[in-house]
Amino acid sequence: MKSDHRLGRNFYKGLIGDAINILLAAAAYNFKRAMRALWLLIKIISESPFENRISLKESF
């Protein structure tokens, strides 16, 4: 579990340092998930105009 989310090495000392390390790792994990979701949304939005292209001749 620790190596999966980069919790293996703790640079802070004591119990407060452990808590800070866990909070920062969780924040980074959530930020990574949010950026992945944003990237997928941008990808979907940028591809959608090209898939539904209708010529002007067919629209009138």
Of 26, 24, 28, nearest in space to 12 by CA = 24
pLDDT tens profile 3-39: 565 656 666 677 888 888 889 889 999 999 999 999 9
Identify the pLDDT of residue 13.
74
Q: Is the pTM of the predicted complex or chain greater than 0.85?
A: no
Identify the pLDDT of residue 47.
76
Identify the pLDDT of residue 19.
85
Identify the pLDDT of residue 15.
81
Of 51, 49, 2, nearest in space to 22 by CA = 2
Domain residue extents for the chain: 14-59
Identify the pLDDT of residue 48.
67
